[in-house]
Structure 1
Amino acid sequence: MALTIHRAELLLPGAGRAPLPGGAVLVDGRSVEAVGPYEELAAARPAARVRRWPGVLTPGLCNPYGPELLERAYHPDPREAGELGTEPLTGTALAALEMTGSRWGASARRGVRRMLAHGTVAVAGTFRRATVADAVARSGLGIEERFDDPPGPPTLDPLAGGRPVEEAFQLPPLGFEGQRADFAVFDVPADGDPYAALARAGAASCVATVLDGRLVHRRA
């Protein structure tokens, strides 16, 4: 796979590290080769493909509601929108559906795509439905262990709920050579307080998600 430099107006490495204006991530296949000022990375790797993004580049997000969103909610097929709408179904609306293993798997695949569109690169929780677990594994999403149920109602937006933005960032922070290339870009103002901007706009402002070195979401 060719070398790719992902450049944004501001890079937030995470874990309390200082923001880097004009920062970029150099990806070699599935791994991060380097993180730093765009000019330095471009000079070191002049043959690398460059992707320029607006806004802020951050570590990918971890959604704490993995089972709730993928095993206890149904994501309608677009062909069902006229009957079921477009939002995830839970509770009595879910109970009214005839759910089979294959239908749960298809729903999970659609749910994963919606997560990717919100900058998510990992989910927390244990999956007990085989077809759902298979859909998550095939997607490449990371799976984190959790020890307590997360507070608040399940949401596709890991930046919602009022918790500090950095708590939603997947670890480790960006900057370690050889780490898996998982990150996201959000179209929010890069000046001022980028954390406040992310909290206001939420993860729906995601314009790109890179998972295991692959561009898996790009907003049209």
Structure 2
Amino acid sequence: MLTIHGAELLLTGPGAEPVVDGAVVVDGARIASVGPYEEMAAEHPGARVRRWPGLLTPGLLNAHAPALLEAAYHPDPREEEQLGSEPLADPAALAGLELADARWGESARRGTQRMLRHGTTAVAGPFERPSVRTAVARAGLVVIAGPRATVPAPAERVSLDPIAALPAGTSPETAFTGPLAPGARADFAVFAVPLMADLAKQGAVSCVATVLDGRLVFRRR
């Protein structure tokens, strides 16, 4: 079944001209077409419609995923009273947790879910731990290797928020995974901000929806 995802502003890729009241038409796991919402709705009268507030963009790449999933522990909600809710990356603290590979996998599963809540659809790789590789694969995240996956960053910029992790003054477009075009994977995110400048200021915590391989994998309530 076709689904039309409409937003107040659509940005199909870096340098692209924004489309006011734009839409992405999804057919299964692929993008069927993109353009103004009224045109897309007229061309696909039987499609299911999802209307989103704010800005719809390509999904984001988290370029520091190995550090977040293989060198940081994401506490289980049942551990929050003892460990808190934020990822733990301190080597001394990690040593005290006695993390076997299976527990790393559980941590990575929670970490990937948190990434989806930040508009992430792709992560840097590769991953050394088998259980982490399994968690990433089950989440459906695309693993990207190469120059984009080896961008160095100071520890304070390694973040679940791919935009916050960018060097100061860098456009959020740098984190886009790829252009939204007919035939491409339906990987995109929606942010509750009106403009790119606002996305740069607020970061990916403003994400209200993430679509991965055509599936709505996160929706903020």
TM-score class normalised by the smaller sequence:
over 0.9
Among 168, 176, 181, the residue aligned to 1:169: 176
SS at match of 1:197: helix
Asked if 1:84 is matched to 2:87, the reply is no
Asked if 1:114 is matched to 2:114, the reply is yes
Q: Tell me the residue number matched to 1:20.
A: 19
Task: Give the Å deviation of 1:125.
Answer: 2.2
Task: Give the Å deviation of 1:155.
Answer: 0.5
Task: Give the Å deviation of 1:59.
Answer: 0.2
Among 181, 184, 200, the residue aligned to 2:189: 184
Asked if 1:73 is matched to 2:80, the reply is no
Give % identity: 61
Task: Give the Å deviation of 1:149.
Answer: 4.4
Task: Give the Å deviation of 1:66.
Answer: 1.2
Q: Tell me the residue number matched to 1:215.
A: 216
Aligned partner letter, 1:90? A
Q: Tell me the residue number matched to 2:7.
A: 8
Within 2, Cα distance between the matches of 1:188 and 1:140? 26
Q: Tell me the residue number matched to 2:105.
A: 105
Within 1, Cα distance between the matches of 2:3 and 2:186? 11
Q: Tell me the residue number matched to 1:152.
A: 154
Structure 2: unaligned runs, 5 residues or longer: none
**1:36-80: per-residue Cα shift (whole Å, max 9, x none)?**
011111111111010011100000000001110000000000011
Superposed counterparts of 1:187-198, under 5 Å: 187-189=192-194, 194-198=195-199
The runs of 4+ residues in structure 1 deviating greater than 3 Å are 146-149
Within 2, Cα distance between the matches of 1:25 and 1:49? 12
Aligned partner letter, 1:137? A
Alpha-carbon RMSD across the aligned residues, in angstroms, is 1.0
Within 2, Cα distance between the matches of 1:110 and 1:207? 18
TM-score (norm 1): 0.94
Task: Give the Å deviation of 1:5.
Answer: 0.4
Aligned partner letter, 2:162? P
Within 1, Cα distance between the matches of 2:72 and 2:128? 14
Give 1 or 2: higher helix fraction.
2
Question: How many matched pairs?
Answer: 213
Aligned partner letter, 1:30? A
Within 2, Cα distance between the matches of 1:47 and 1:89? 48
Asked if 1:29 is matched to 2:28, the reply is yes
Greater mean deviation of Cα atoms: 103-112 or 160-169? 160-169
Asked if 1:60 is matched to 2:59, the reply is yes
Within 2, Cα distance between the matches of 1:17 and 1:32? 17
Aligned partner letter, 1:204? V
**1:149-202: per-residue Cα shift (whole Å, max 9, x none)?**
42222101111132221101002x11x21111000000012xxxx221101110
**1:18-50: per-residue Cα shift (whole Å, max 9, x none)?**
000000000001100000011111111111010
Greater mean deviation of Cα atoms: 83-92 or 146-155? 146-155
Q: Tell me the residue number matched to 1:143.
A: 143
SS at match of 1:115: helix
